[in-house]
Amino acid sequence: MNMRAWWLDCECDEDVAFYRRHIVKPAATIDWIREQQQMAEEEESIPRKEINTDVLKPLFKHISKLDQQILRMHYAEGMKWREISDKLGYNLSYLWKREKRALEKLRAIIDRDGLSPWRKEDE
C-alpha cells in the first residue's frame, strides 16, 4: 500500500481529518524542514574552532569551586543536567543559575582583558 495514502482506508471522516492534520504536513512545513537540513549541511562544512584550554585554565580561578565543577561536568565530561543534580545534590534550577552566572563572569573577564578563547590556526 502507498504509505502516503494509507489513511484513505479509514472508515470515519473524523479519523481522516485527524490524519490529514497530524500526519500529512503542509508544503510550508516541508519547505522549512528542507531549509533546516540544508543549513545543517552548510554548518558541517564550516571548520570548527577549537577552544584554547591554556586561556581557560587561568580564567577558572575567578569562579568558585562549585561553578568549576558544574562547568567541567557538563561541558568537558558531557554529563546531563539530571546526572549533575543527582551527583552534587542540588536542584536543576539552582545549577542552571550557577552555570549562567559563571559563564557571564567568564565572558566579562574575556571581554575586559581582550582574550580569545579560541586556539589560533597556526598552533
Structural domains present in the chain: 3-45 (no CATH), 53-113 (1.10.10.10)
8-state DSSP, 122: T
Using a pLDDT cut of 90, give the percent of the chain over it.
Answer: 32
pLDDT band at 57 (very low <50, low <70, confident <90, very high): confident
Question: Is the separation of the CB atoms in 122 and 53 below 8 Å?
Answer: no
pLDDT exceeds cutoff 80 at 25: no
Residue 120 has φ and ψ, to the nearest 5°, of -70, 150
Q: At 120, list the grid cell.
A: 589560533
Secondary-structure percent of the chain, ordered helix, strand, coil, rounded to 5: 70, 0, 25
103 vs 39, which has greater pLDDT? 103
